[in-house]
Amino acid sequence: MKRLLILALVLPLAGCVSTASHIVMAPVHAAGWTVDKMTTSQAEADRNRGRRDRKEEERARKQAKKDAKKQRELEKQQQRYSGPDS
């Protein structure tokens, strides 16, 4: 009878122990998650640097294209105004 009574008391406590361990570990997990989100790993830094460099190269290519087009237009205008005699 005692064994049955002890078993009947211990079984519900198993859930309490599990819940208690989750409650105790929650701040530790939250702190770990926060540190992970606040810091940048070397791989993340490399990836971000590569992305930034590719975007900068793309901007430079677009600007060079724009400048070349503007230069061609200016040359056309100069040819038009200078006439065939020059």
Band the pLDDT of 59: cuts 50, 70, 90. very high
pTM above 0.85, yes or no: no
3-state secondary structure of 41: coil
Report the alpha-carbon distance of residue 18 to residue 25 in Å, rounded.
11
pLDDT digits (tens, 9 = 90+) for 14-40: 667 677 777 888 888 889 888 888 888
Residues with Cβ within 8 Å of residue 48, at least 6 apart in sequence? 40
Report the sign of the C-alpha dihedral through residues 29, 35, 37, 40, in that order: negative
Report the alpha-carbon distance of residue 17 to residue 11 in Å, rounded.
10
Where do the domains of the chain lie?
Answer: 49-80
